[in-house]
Amino acid sequence: MKNKIYNYLIHGIFLLLVLGTTSCLTGNLEDIPEFTDAEITDVKFDFRYKDANSTWIDGEPVVKVVRLTVVKTINAAAGTIEVNLSVPAPNASFTNDIRRQVALTNLVGKFNISTAATIEPLDGAPVLGVPGDFSTERKYRVTAADGKTKKDWTVKVNPLPIINP
Domain assignment present for residue 24? The answer is no
Kindly state whether residue 93 falls inside one of the protein's structural domains.
yes
Closest CA to 40 of 144, 148, 125, 159: 144
**Domain coverage including residue 89:** 40-157
The single-letter code of the amino acid at 151 is K
* Number of domains present in the structure of the chain: 1
pLDDT digits (tens, 9 = 90+) for 17-32: 776 676 666 677 777 7
**Domain-located, residue 142:** yes
pLDDT digits (tens, 9 = 90+) for 39-55: 999 999 999 999 888 88
Question: How does residue 138 score in pLDDT terms, banded at 50, 70 and 90?
Answer: very high
Is the pLDDT score of 146 beyond 90? yes
In sequence order, the β-bridge partners of residue 81 are: 74, 155
CATH number at residue 123: 2.60.40.4120
Of how many residues is the chain composed?
165
3-state secondary structure of 13: helix
pLDDT score for 9: 81
Residue 112 has pLDDT above 80, yes or no: yes
Instruction: Evaluate whether residue 141 is within a structural domain.
Output: yes
Q: Does residue 163 belong to any structural domain of this protein?
A: no
Is 5 a domain residue?
Answer: no
Domain assignment present for residue 55? The answer is: yes
**Long-range contact set of residues 115-123: C-beta below 8 Å, sequence gap at least 24:** 115/35, 115/37, 115/145, 116/35, 116/144, 116/145, 117/35, 117/37, 117/38, 117/39, 117/142, 117/143, 117/144, 117/145, 118/142, 118/143, 119/40, 119/143, 122/152
Tell me whether residue 25 is in a domain. Answer: no
User: What pairs with residue 85 in β-bridges?
Assistant: 70
Q: pTM for the whole thing?
A: 0.79
Rounded to an integer, what is the distance from CA 38 to the centroid of its chain?
16
Distance CA 50, CA 63 (A): 4
Q: Per-residue pLDDT tens for 76-91?
A: 999 999 999 999 999 9
The alpha carbon of residue 37 and the mean position of all alpha carbons in its chain are separated, in whole angstroms, by 18
Phi, psi dihedrals of residue 3, rounded to the nearest 5°:
-65, -40
Res. 162 pLDDT band, cuts 50 70 90: confident
The chain-wide mean pLDDT, for the chain, equals 90
**Residue 72: which pLDDT band, with cuts at 50, 70 and 90?**
very high
